Amino acid sequence: MKKLLLATTAIVMLSAGAPAIAADMAVKAVRPLPPPCAAARFSGGYIGVNAGFVNWTANRTDQDEVLVDTATYVQKKWGGLIGGQIGYNFTTCNTLWGIELDGDWSRTNVSTQLIPNAPFFNINITSRFDGLVTARTRAGIVMDNLLIYVTGGLAAGHFRTTYTSAFNIPGVIAVSNQVESSQWRWGFVAGFGTEWAWSDSVSIRSEVLYVDFVDRENRFLFAAPATFANFTESDSMWITRIGLNWRFGKNPVVARY
């Protein structure tokens, strides 16, 4: 009888402790899933649009005193620009590097009157910036859904400059000389920006770029009295813009262990 009582007690105690042991084993067996890698939100190809402002500085140097003096005339102008971009991003867990091509159109004009308030003279330099193309690499760090990056590469800008030298006394004498350069010039671009993943496919960015173009010397033949004139053109600009990107061909999200 005593043996039966002891056996019954042991069975009851084991039965009561079994759920706790099983629960403990279950907790140890299940490993919580780690959060996905943040940079995967920006992986793959993308295409988008952008718009912003340009702060343009144009230096025009008259080397031969054809207009007024041997001098450099500095022209500054704010303008708008609009365009698009296409690129591809490669990512690790929290870092990114990529390549991007973009193009922007602008119509930013600035004119400088070299002899202001002179009744018979119209001597001026008019410059226009109307196109920009860049090819850049970029690298950054992703925190949650925010990318912070630096970027740099090559740029090409299109500039049109008109040099006018006119002297006119009605009914007495009229002399007018006008020459123009229209050209693409290459340069270097660098900057920084941020990009926010609004959804799995759409992101919003803002960036600041500095572009410096290689100087170009142009030689013109003015009309009678015929003379050759040499002008050096130098341009640089600060650009601030926002953009909207749509991603395609995204890489699969990689878990972080």
pLDDT digits (tens, 9 = 90+) for 180-224: 999 999 999 999 999 999 998 999 999 999 999 999 999 888 776
Q: What are phi and psi of 119, to 5 degrees?
A: -70, -25
151 versus 35: the higher-pLDDT residue is 151
pLDDT over threshold 90, residue 121: no
- Do 41 and 20 lie in one domain? The reply is no
Number of structural domains in the chain: 2
pTM of the model: 0.79
* Cβ burial 17-27 (10 Å sphere, 16+ → b, else e): eeeeeeeeeee
- As a whole number, mean pLDDT of residues 51-61 equals 97
Pairing of strands 121-143, 95-113: antiparallel
- Do 102 and 218 lie in one domain? The reply is yes
- Do 68 and 18 lie in one domain? The reply is no
pLDDT at 249: 72
Asked, for residue 253, whether it belongs to a domain, the answer is: no
pLDDT at 256: 43
- Do 45 and 5 lie in one domain? The reply is no
- Do 99 and 185 lie in one domain? The reply is yes
pLDDT over threshold 90, residue 151: yes
Asked, for residue 198, whether it belongs to a domain, the answer is: yes
Asked, for residue 100, whether it belongs to a domain, the answer is: yes
Range of the domain at 198: 37-248
| Other residues' Cβ atoms within 10 Å of the Cβ of residue 138 | 22
Q: Is residue 21 within 8 Å of residue 15, measured between CB atoms?
A: no
Asked, for residue 67, whether it belongs to a domain, the answer is: yes
- Do 9 and 135 lie in one domain? The reply is no
pLDDT over threshold 80, residue 117: no
Asked, for residue 107, whether it belongs to a domain, the answer is: yes
Asked, for residue 11, whether it belongs to a domain, the answer is: yes
Task: Classify 123 as helix, strand or coil.
Answer: strand
pLDDT at 178: 84
- Do 21 and 145 lie in one domain? The reply is no
Asked, for residue 197, whether it belongs to a domain, the answer is: yes
- Do 79 and 198 lie in one domain? The reply is yes
pLDDT at 226: 63
pLDDT over threshold 50, residue 142: yes
